[in-house]
Structure 1
């Protein structure tokens, strides 16, 4: 889960550009913030050789049809379980609920999870974890799937939440194999092409 709070303001971005520096790439503020973070050597997951050649992350064109409202059905008394990762690490998660939504005329469902480590951290206790794969995975997008952060504070009283697939991101393992990343559960495969959000990273 992304746990870096971007401290750069729009004013900072504008002031940098006004001083003749290269404009921050990205169609949206989300994309610009991601590119700023990845360019920062102190927090970037990129390997040194990739960081030197980094000019910006590759995203699908922003498409508002990939912004949907999902109905949340909370999972009662869900057991805590060890989620498989790319390493031997087994972080503890709990199923938070099911998200049902319609996209491109298809009725789809994803399971959303809550990290048990996050529930003990005041900064991240409202974060929910939504991993998924789709029919672009392994081709135009990262084969291990993509992630989306959802906030419990964004869930309405009617148990609906807006999912913006334009704001998806890759696990750090897509950039550097030193990281340990949760594996997307098989039940979270969407039988549709999600041509929105982050694309696969082409390593140098």
Structure 2
């Protein structure tokens, strides 16, 4: 009886291993990365080689400190996914890791994980708008920081980046494409001398 039981267990184990091997036949996405601006966090990945029309991708997210991966998208045929809504606390947390795998029917690939932690430092800073006027030979400017609709009420650009904000300003007189002023300012309100130049300026 014992030899027969061993044979049955071996056969069952072989079938299970075969099933798992079949489930991971697809290649993994070559790379996964974030591209982010202020409260606009997009995960991107490169497609697997020779994917079929039915190939889709699953996305999972790990918040640092929890130790648990959460499924975000079960099957997306796009090559990017907007994770802003589920990472709104990015600017008040230790960051995230994301992973993506390919799925095609009963087959799937291994996960590909982002190489770096997605944190505040990975966010590309932008400007919402700039207002300008000329007064007594000076260009007076006011920089409006971005105001994303997705941002929680208390998470303003100024409150999150409360120190060391710096803007790089370049003034160009047109026509002629001649840049005559290039400086950095540390405040949203700034003034620049036009050096007696008159005409139309781009800032």
Q: Give TM-score, length-normalised by structure 2.
A: 0.22
Q: Which has the higher contact order (CA 8 A, sep 6+)?
A: 1
> Larger C-alpha radius of gyration, 1 or 2?
2
Q: Give TM-score, length-normalised by structure 1.
A: 0.22
